[in-house]
Amino acid sequence: MTSSLLLAVITSGFIYAITPGPGVLAVFGIGAARGRQAGAGFLCGHMVGDVVWCSTALVAIVGAREIGSEAFNILGFLSGLYLFWLGLRAIRSKGGSADDPQGAARNPFWHGILFGLTNPKAYPVAVATFTALLSSRAEMLSWSMLPGLIALSFLGGLAAYAILIGIVGARQVRGWYQRHELAITRVCGVMFIGFAVNALVHAVPGLVGNKS
């Protein structure tokens, strides 16, 4: 595994875990209401879902690669379109999601597990994010590398959660996040569009070339 592939997988796991969404908003709410320990408990539980969805996404990506370049290019093309749509929706977002009912969870750890495993957007976002960042290194992927890929994505997610745990727990942080949530969401939208362009740049030439 090359250093560039190693960094790409870690970065994918990090971005997947730290990008603002329902889970990030929930941990800020729990942290502000019940403190950093409760927020950390929620994230530890939520990581179970992250591992499941990221592992499933990597299985799909490696499987598509092993089937053939055209299957991987189709996956990359669909992922690019999906990320582009997410980015546009984020940029056009008008906010209004500041209230978080998850903050009152009695058991943050078990609530985090349930929250992470039942998020309907987790799998498609994981597939799209990992495909976009790994598309330029698709030829390196193989089944033998899968355990290492999963472990590296876990390390990236762990780093993201360490940052989140470090800043949750203060009502001032919760207030700051709510005040700037719209701007943060839109910045992430621009980032998603950038990933989408990267995925499409690598997928489209392969699809066109196979049909010519």
For residues 29 and 89, the model is more confident at 89
Looking at residue 120, its pLDDT comes to 65
Between 78 and 171, the more confident residue is 78
pLDDT greater than 60 at residue 38: yes
- Name the residue type at position 113: I
Q: State how far the Cα of 130 lies from the Cα of 10, in Å rounded to an integer.
A: 10
Complete DSSP assignment for 47-89: HHHHHHHHHHHHHHHHHHHHH-HHHHHHHHHHHHHHHHHHHHH
- pLDDT: is 102 or 139 the higher one? 139
Between CA 37 and CA 159 the distance in angstroms is 17
- pLDDT (tens digit per residue) in 79-131: 888 888 888 988 887 765 444 444 345 688 988 888 888 876 788 888 888 98
Give yes or no for a contact between 209 and 69, defined as CB atoms under 8 angstroms apart: no
> pLDDT tens-digit profile of 197-211?
887 887 888 777 665
pLDDT per residue as tens digits for the range 144-186: 999 999 999 999 999 999 998 888 866 677 677 777 778 877 8
